[in-house]
Structure 1
Amino acid sequence: MLTIGGFVFVIICVFGGYILAGGKIGIILAALPFEMMIIGGSALGTLLMANSMHGLKHVAAGFGKVLRGGKFTKSDYVDLLSLLYWLVRLASTKGAMALEAHIEKPHESSAFGKFPRIRDDHHAVTLICDYLRMVGMHADDPHQIEDVFARELRKLLNEELHPAHSMQKVADALPALGIVAAVMGVIKTMGSITEPPPILGKMIGAALVGTFLGVFLAYGLMGPIASRLQSVVEEEIKYYEVIRAVLVAHLHGNAPQVSVETGRKMAPTEHMPTFQELEEALQNLQIA
């Protein structure tokens, strides 16, 4: 909602200032539908040309993510750390093979069932199960696991940033598309050069709306949306960094409590539970 509120505030300031300065809004409103068709349609066309169908769906989902914001809260980090604590404690006390029933069928696991939001997060479940499975296959070199895990997270980050990059490319193209619309308006005006000055003035003003609209949409809408989406993605990837930190700490031979404390430090500051909050959650943890 903050994104929508910010855009409304930008519109009020830009157009309100124009009207208060004595500008005639009628010229802009008359030209707006046609300029939007040229500029907006061209921007949409470039987006379609530059992306696959999967990429377009990803971009559409990105707009929803911008409006929703980061999906992980402090309670999500507490739940994740609690689940990881239970899993690494089980592996420490009964061996890696004791995890098999949970990591082979996570949706039937009592441990994952305790935390439905984690169970329904495809990336989180895949990362936890895949790397615990590798440990069960005696791939227990913590440095090797950390390196592979880090590379997978970089790949995931790059994939999740694709919509933000696509939006930024559209933002970069919008000023130029605005110039295209303005040039077409000037061509139209030159074709009516015999008209009296008042009419020519309105036609030139309408042509300049294209330049204005391209710049406005680039720096007042698409650019901020792309920037906001990038920050949301980078915040959410830290959730998966917590998994990496806990499992690598576990492979280094740390106690379960130390491993989850290492992971807690990886959580974003605004969502990071305190030591006491996590300790209380672990003490109250009950999994059949």
Structure 2
Amino acid sequence: MAIHSTAIVDPKAQLDSSVEVGAYSIIGPNVRIDAGTKIGPHVVVEGHTTIGKDNQFFQFSSIGAAPQDKKYAGEPTLLEIGDRNVVREFCTFNLGTVQDGGVTRVGSDNWIMAYVHIAHDCHVGNRTIFANNAALAGHVHIGDWVILGGFSNVHQFCKIGAHAMVGMSTSLTQDVPPFVILNGNPAAAHGINIEGLKRRGFSREQISAIRQAYKTLYKSGLTLDEAKAALDQEIAQVSADVAQHLQLMRSFLDTSTRGIVR
């Protein structure tokens, strides 16, 4: 292992032989780090934290610290991080709490910029981008490919669906369906993430159907229940490769507990 002489790595920590640990970093006893991961200088990794392969943590981040929750009483809760994530300077990822599932989870291939906070019991998917100072309160769920603009804030228990995009300095207090772009205070929807979908290989037919679903949900004047029924009809009328994406939006509406931004 390439461990700097000034780093402090607890003998009980489990680090693959290829892991790098920079100057003055601290690795706690219940930490496991897989192959190819690089821990930069002045990083603290503690708690029951598991980190996968080929991640890169830049300087001054705090990973696996106790949750910022007054109910936390030192229970051995978890932080799980996947593979190939880039975590920039001054980020804070906290452990879970027993009041929820006991685990904070970050997936793979995420691009996490400086000063991002991921609070207790959050679940972050894969291939997301969090710009500087984005912050998740506790129990937030973020789908795959989501983009959070700088200084955006997400309220406790909110959900953001896959491929959604949240603009800079937006404060979210309700859920965001998949594919939707929104911005402002209060947050308001402004269409679907067409450019992002094109970059990810969505066909013209798929994007057209998603755009129509957005119009049904946001522009038709229907109540939410009426919009759900209309979406069911739209799903029944399209091919399977299109229907899977409309179903993603439709299912999200049934799982929303805080109501959607609408």
Task: Specify which structure has the bigger relative contact order, considering alpha-carbon pairs within 8 angstroms and separated by 6 or more residues.
Answer: 1
Higher share of residues assigned strand: 2
Q: TM-score range by the shorter chain?
A: under 0.3
Who wins on radius of gyration, i.e. which is larger? Answer: 1
Higher share of residues assigned helix: 1
TM-score w.r.t. the length of structure 1 is 0.21
